[in-house]
A and B are shown apart, each in its own frame.
Chain A
Amino acid sequence: MNWHEYAIKHGKLPEWPYEISYGKENVVESDVLVVGGGVAGCRAAIAALQQGASVAVAERGFTKRSGLGGAGVDHWHGAVTNPCSKITPEMYSDTAMKISDGYTNGLARYIIGKEGWDTLLELEEMGVQIRDEDDEFKDTMFRDEETKLLFAYDLDNKHCLRVYGNNIKPCLDAEMRRLGAGVYDRTCITALLTEGGRQGARVIGAMGVNDRTGEFFVFKAKAVVVATGGGKRLGSFAPELTESQSMFHINLTNMGHTIAWNAGAELVMMDQLYVGGLDMGYAPYSMGNADNTYQGAPTVDANGVRVQHASATGTLLTDERQIFQSANPDTFVIGHGIGLGPTNTQEYSVSTLDHALNDKISSGELRLPLYNDFTLLDEKHRRLIWGLMLSHEGKTRVPIYETLSKWGFDPDKDMLQYAVTNAELLSHRSSWTGLEHSPKNWVVTAGGGGIITDWRLQGSLPGMFAAGGFPLFGSGCHGEAQTTGRYAGRQAARFASEHDSAEPDRAQIEREKRELFAPVENEGGDIGWKELNYAIARVVQDYCGRYKTEEILDLGIKRLKDLRDTEGRRTYANNPHELGRLVECFRLIDLGICYMEAAKARKASSKILGFSRVDYPEMDPPEWNCLLPISQSDGQVHVRKLPCDYYRQAPYSDCLAENYEKYTVPAKKEAT
Chain B
Amino acid sequence: MNEAYLVPNPIAPNQSVCIDHDKCVGCNCCANACRTQTIMPNPEKGQPPIVIYPDECWFCGCCVGACKREAIRIVYPINQRVFFKRKTTGEVFRLGGPDSPPQTYFKPPVG
- Interfacial residues, chain A to chain B (CB-CB below 8 A): 1-4, 6-8, 14-17, 60-62, 64-67, 70-71, 129, 136, 164, 166, 211, 239-241, 243-246, 249-251, 282-283, 286-288, 369, 371, 373, 375, 383-384, 387-388, 391-392, 394-395, 397-399, 401-419, 577
State which of A14, A17, A70, A287 has its C-beta within 8 Å of the C-beta of B82. A287
Instruction: State whether B85 touches A383 (Cβ < 8 A).
Output: no
| Max count, chain B CB within 10 A of own CB: residue among A241, A251, A397, A410 | A410
**Bound-complex Cα distance A260 to B50 (A):** 36
**Bound-complex Cα distance A366 to B93 (A):** 22
In whole Å, how far is B94's beta carbon from the nearest beta carbon of chain A? 9
Instruction: State whether A17 touches B60 (Cβ < 8 A).
Output: no
State which of A70, A388, A403 has its C-beta within 8 Å of the C-beta of B60. A70
25 interchain pairs, CB-CB under 8 A: A2-B15, A14-B40, A14-B52, A61-B34, A61-B36, A65-B35, A164-B111, A240-B55, A244-B59, A244-B80, A249-B58, A250-B58, A286-B81, A288-B82, A384-B110, A392-B111, A398-B61, A405-B106, A406-B103, A407-B93, A407-B96, A407-B100, A408-B104, A409-B93, A414-B84
Task: Specify which chain A residues have a CB less than 8 angstroms from the CB of B42 in the assembled complex.
Answer: 14, 17
In whole Å, how far is B103's beta carbon from the nearest beta carbon of chain A? 6
Task: Specify which chain A residues have a CB less than 8 angstroms from the CB of B73 in the assembled complex.
Answer: 403
CB under 8 Å from chain A, chain B span 34-63: 34-37, 40-43, 48, 50-62
**Bound-complex Cα distance A634 to B69 (A):** 56
In the complex, residue of chain B having the shortest beta-carbon distance to the beta carbon of A59: B35
In whole Å, how far is A629's beta carbon from the nearest beta carbon of chain B? 33
Instruction: State whether B85 touches A2 (Cβ < 8 A).
Output: no
- Given the interface pairs A243-B56, A249-B35, A387-B109, the reply to whether A17 lies near B96 with Cβ below 8 Å is no
In the complex, residue of chain A having the shortest beta-carbon distance to the beta carbon of B77: A244
State which of B52, B54, B83, B106 has its C-beta within 8 Å of the C-beta of A417. B83
Q: Which 7 A-B pairs have the closest CB atoms?
A: A398-B61, A391-B109, A408-B101, A61-B35, A164-B111, A249-B58, A71-B60
Task: Specify which chain A residues have a CB less than 8 angstroms from the CB of B74 in the assembled complex.
Answer: 398-399, 403
Instruction: State whether A62 touches B33 (Cβ < 8 A).
Output: yes
State which of B21, B60, B84 has its C-beta within 8 Å of the C-beta of A399. B60
**Bound-complex Cα distance A414 to B84 (A):** 7
Instruction: State whether A1 touches B48 (Cβ < 8 A).
Output: yes
State which of B60, B85, B96 has its C-beta within 8 Å of the C-beta of A395. B60
Task: Specify which chain A residues have a CB less than 8 angstroms from the CB of B60 in the assembled complex.
Answer: 65, 70-71, 249, 394-395, 398-399
**Bound-complex Cα distance A626 to B37 (A):** 42
**Bound-complex Cα distance A15 to B42 (A):** 8
Task: Specify which chain B residues have a CB less than 8 angstroms from the CB of A241 in the assembled complex.
Answer: 12, 79
**Bound-complex Cα distance A417 to B85 (A):** 8
Task: Specify which chain B residues have a CB less than 8 angstroms from the CB of A394 in the assembled complex.
Answer: 60
Task: Specify which chain A residues have a CB less than 8 angstroms from the CB of B82 in the assembled complex.
Answer: 282, 286-288, 416-419
In the complex, residue of chain A having the shortest beta-carbon distance to the beta carbon of B109: A391
